[in-house]
Amino acid sequence: MQKKRPTISDVAKLAQCSLSTVSLVLNNRGYVSPTVRKRVLTIIKDLSYHPSHSARGLASKTSGNFGFILSDDHFSQAEPFYTRIFLGTEFEARNHSYYILLTTVGPSFNKSKDAPRFLLERNVDGVILAGKVDASLIDYIDALGVPIVLVDYTTQRRKHSSVLIDNISGGQIAVNHLLACDRQEIAFIAGDINHPSIAERYAGYQEALKEHGMTLDPTLVHVAEPALRGVDGANAIHHILDRRKAPSAVFAANDAMAIGCIHYLRQRGINVPEDVAVVGFDDIDMSSHIEIPLTTIRVFKEEMGKLAVLRLVEIIKERTSHVVTTHVPVELIVRRSTPELRQQSIVA
């Protein structure tokens, strides 16, 4: 028979003290007499007792958990961007003795039926919201008094700390690379243009054209699709080709759309990169493994998750409401979907 794992109650019983006293010793908080502290620590060692997060929380009034929330359509194999951010939070949380509790939510939020269980049970000390979510969910968490850090998203009110991508610089780098490849007609395709990151990438595209004295051609832009899947990249370039001849290059707002675009162009007998060069954004794992590896703007996704955890820890330890916005730089990764130039790696 497997030996029963010792509990905090076993420690308290043998030490002849309360559960809260044991918890104070475990957390090194409050006053416990040297004699009692020594007795508790000796029993903990003898029993090989390892405290659970709930035991630690008796004294600290904390759960030892952070919540990680993102929308259903961002949590998929087709769009693994946020999965990498989640991994970054998981690795960094271990350094601070926190667990990460993951959940997804729909596009709209109703607090009576959609509230994550860890919020209903008050089982998190802070929440990381990744990507675009319903504003009412943010309001709901605010009302609970739970600290929030936004990742790859911000609100107009900008009342929460956030970890963002340097999207504008990334957009400029992508367009400048295509211009360096002697591609003058550069299309832009995107999904949810209301997402701040996508809007900023579009702004970077426009800024780069302006810097080179080029006029924006509306027939080269398609931003009408509501989602960011590969199939939408195919739909977007299809709409552009329906109204004009093929552009010499495409800058896609993310890699999934760029990959969908490449597949569609090849189906139409259009060669990549000889006829149309393609640049994506994000550098998801798939981008280097497709038939024509994708030139893209690399986002340091795990680093974003790490920074979000560090900010939450700082908010909780210092009990601060000061809003901090952190922009993570990006890097151009050149592969075969654009014409070969000399080796280059550009960091914004």
Question: Domain segments of the chain: what residues?
Answer: 8-60, 65-165+301-329, 167-300
CATH class as words, domain 167-300: alpha beta
Domains 8-60 and 167-300 are alike in CATH topology: no
Q: 65-165+301-329: which CATH topology?
A: Rossmann fold (3.40.50)
> Any residues with CB less than 8 A from the CB of 92 and at least 6 apart, and which?
305, 306, 309, 310
CA distances from 180 to 1, 173, 176 (A): 71, 10, 6
pLDDT in tens, the chain (348 residues): 456 778 888 898 999 988 878 878 877 767 889 999 999 999 998 988 877 655 555 555 678 899 999 988 777 655 578 999 999 999 999 999 899 999 999 889 998 889 999 999 889 999 999 999 999 999 999 999 999 999 999 988 779 999 999 999 999 999 999 999 999 999 999 988 888 999 999 999 999 999 999 999 999 999 865 555 556 899 999 999 999 999 999 999 999 999 999 999 999 999 999 999 999 999 999 999 999 999 999 999 999 999 999 999 999 988 888 999 999 999 999 999 999 875 444 545
Q: How far apart are CA 238 and CA 245, in angstroms?
A: 11
Model-level pTM? 0.80
8-60 CATH: 1.10.260.40
Q: Return the bridge partners of 209, or none.
A: none
